[in-house]
Amino acid sequence: MPTPRETILAALHARLSALPATALRGDVLPERIPTEGLLILRDGEPGESEVTLSPLRYHYQHRAEIEAVVQGADRDAAFDTLTASIGTALTTDRTLGGFCDWVEAEAPRPVDLPVEGGASLKAAVIPVVLHYSTADPLA
């Protein structure tokens, strides 16, 4: 049985996979960027938990990251469309099907990355904060 952390990350990946862009989890940046764009979900860091007693619960604000990458002549518009679709996907169901208490994305910081012999990339890391509680930090 997967842990709550893994269940939440899998639900987030499934939500990203429903978008037109290719969604990967924990993979390296491929040599070719799909026309619709590329999303890579990084598991991130659960951080320090807050603990409540009776019953014992560990409350996390887990910071996962989504790497969003587009390439092509109209990359600014494609990037804007891709990031807006991520926002819409997350605000549609802030609990990821009831697996977490709340999910919220932070603003991306886009950068243009030159590619030798090819069209430049536009990319950003989008932090996503996953709020959830568990009875055991390892389970």
pLDDT digits (tens, 9 = 90+) for 68-82: 999 988 999 999 999
pLDDT at 115 over 90: no
What CA–CA distance (Å, rounded) separates 80 from 125?
14
Question: Between these two residues, 121 and 139, which has the higher pLDDT value?
Answer: 121
Residue 91 — pLDDT band, cuts 50, 70, 90?
very high
Average pLDDT over residues 83-111: 96
Q: Across the chain, what does the average pLDDT equal? A: 94
Give the range among 24-28, 116-120, 129-133 with minimum mean pLDDT. Answer: 116-120
117: which residues sit within 8 A by CB, 6+ positions away?
Answer: none
Burial of 83 from C-beta contacts in 10 A (0-12 / 13-18 / 19+): buried
pLDDT for the residue 134 = 95
Angle at 30 between CA 129 and CA 78, to 5 degrees: 65
The pTM of the full predicted model, rounded to 2 decimals, is 0.93
pLDDT recorded at residue 111:
93
Question: DSSP per residue over 29-64, as a string?
Answer: PPSS--TT-EEEEEEEE--PPEEETTTTEEEEEEEE
